Amino acid sequence: MITTENRLSFAISTIRFPLAVLIVCAHSNPIKFPNLLGDYYCEVSFSNNLIHYLIIFVAWSLFSSAVPCFFAISGYLFFKKLVFFNKRIYFDKLKNRFYTLVLPYVVWNFCFILYFGLWKQLGDIGYLFLWFVGGPYENVVNMIMSCPIDGPLWFVRDLIGAVFLSPIIYYIFKRPKLGLVIFLMLLVWYLFGFSHQYWIPGISVPCLLFYGVGAYLGIHKVNVLDVVSSYRKVVLYIWIALLVIDTLTTHFINEDGITRLENYVIIHSLTSIFGVVAMLIISARYPSRLLMRLGGSSFVVYALHMPMLQQTYGIILCIFVNSQCMNEFQLLGIYLLVVSILVMFAMVLTEIFDRIKFLRILFKGGR
């Protein structure tokens, strides 16, 4: 008999790969990041047409739940087997997370430092350090608000921060009343998009909010599928409605080479929150052995894609586009092709890493 706990485990295993692909779709978005098109960029009118809304739906609205879902899952898995928390357990967790988080974080960033030809800066230890945590150091505010050189790994950096703070997180969320107060403070901060959500590398509001929720569920051995079992359809209907509203009210406008976002922050934030629960419900209802197997490549998909986006777009555009000005259908085709190539390349690399233990430890943290 399949228990609710097993269904949640299947859901987590099923959802990892689709979430990683959604993140690739978001970072490959040519509407939000027209610089990816280089010299091939021209003013393509996407206003009020199906392709505009399709890309916004996938690469903005649907994507909004991807990273929060990863945070919530990480918090849940970190605490779910703990009966109590002491110094020995803490240092055991730190040792384990060194191999699963810190080592691949350093390796991937170092590889892309070399990839981008930044090896000339290796003599400057301060410069190198700040590239890892947020650089460049000329502007402290930019440093602490930005990402590592392998941009998507800000998520891993924040997880490392959460692991170091795990005794505090445990203390807070072990006490329901205190946990509720902290949760509501973070929720308001997140919902209304107040500034400085990413003020300190490793201690972002989205990380603390969703990792904290996952930590609460893990500490108190609460299965989210049990909690929402009577409200599954309501959650799904609300999420679908929010997805539609967020998609229809979001626009990326390029003015003088600068892309400006117009949307309702609270709608987008609510979409991401309901999406986390809805995605787990759907994954639990329709577990997939194929997606579970592909889940092994999700970390490589996540870590590999962004630094290669510009070059991949450049190669594909040179091969398939004859003129510098594309229509929206051509751009959609290029977009989907780039996403597919990056995901498949990461899957191939994963196969190689899995066959060589040393590489699996370095690039996947032994996953």
**DSSP structure string for 191-207:** HTT-S-TTSSTT--HHH
Whole-number Å distance between alpha carbons of 302 and 318: 25
The confidence score (pLDDT) of residue 192 equals 82
The confidence score (pLDDT) of residue 139 equals 41
Find out whether 23 and 291 touch, Cβ atoms under 8 Å: no
The confidence score (pLDDT) of residue 324 equals 60
Peptide bond into 136 cis (omega under 30): yes
Q: How many CB atoms lie within 10 A of CB 226?
A: 12
State the amino acid at position 291 in one-letter form: L
State the amino acid at position 313 in one-letter form: Y
Query: Which tokens in the block code for residue 15?
Result: 């959802």
Find out whether 223 and 86 touch, Cβ atoms under 8 Å: no
pLDDT digits 0-9 by tens, 325-350: 677 788 888 899 999 999 999 999 99
Q: What Cα–Cα distance (Å) separates residue 320 from each residue in 316, 317, 324?
A: 6, 5, 11
The confidence score (pLDDT) of residue 117 equals 61
The confidence score (pLDDT) of residue 129 equals 52
Whole-number Å distance between alpha carbons of 104 and 201: 17
Q: How many CB atoms lie within 10 A of CB 293?
A: 11
pLDDT digits 0-9 by tens, 165-189: 999 999 999 998 999 999 999 999 8
The confidence score (pLDDT) of residue 81 equals 87
Whole-number Å distance between alpha carbons of 76 and 222: 9
Query: Which tokens in the block code for residue 134?
Result: 């947020």
Sign for the CA dihedral angle at 233, 235, 240, 244 comes to positive
Whole-number Å distance between alpha carbons of 290 and 340: 17
The region that residue 264 occupies, defined by phi over 0 for left and psi between -120 and 50 for alpha, beta otherwise, is beta
pTM greater than 0.75 (yes/no): yes
Query: Which tokens in the block code for residue 83?
Result: 């009966």
Indicate the burial class of 164 (C-beta count within 10 angstroms; 0-12, 13-18, 19 or more).
middle
**Token pair 């592909």: residue:** 294
Whole-number Å distance between alpha carbons of 232 and 226: 10
The confidence score (pLDDT) of residue 255 equals 63
Query: Which tokens in the block code for residue 79?
Result: 């605490």
Query: Which tokens in the block code for residue 52?
Result: 């505009």
Nearest CA among 4, 15, 47, 8 for reference residue 253: 47
**pLDDT beneath 70: ranges in the chain:** 1-5, 39-48, 116-147, 194-196, 199, 201-202, 253-261, 323-325
The confidence score (pLDDT) of residue 260 equals 65
Find out whether 41 and 334 touch, Cβ atoms under 8 Å: no
Upper half-sphere CA count for residue 319 (Cβ side, 13 Å): 10
The confidence score (pLDDT) of residue 171 equals 93
DSSP annotation of 250 reads -
Q: What Cα–Cα distance (Å) separates residue 341 from each residue in 21, 60, 299, 318, 323?
A: 11, 20, 16, 15, 22
The confidence score (pLDDT) of residue 43 equals 55
Whole-number Å distance between alpha carbons of 183 and 219: 15
Alpha helices in the chain (DSSP H): 4-27, 50-56, 66-79, 87-97, 103-115, 125-133, 140-145, 154-164, 166-174, 176-191, 205-219, 224-227, 232-248, 265-285, 289-294, 298-304, 309-320, 328-355, 357-364
Q: How many CB atoms lie within 10 A of CB 7?
A: 19
Find out whether 236 and 281 touch, Cβ atoms under 8 Å: yes
The confidence score (pLDDT) of residue 140 equals 41
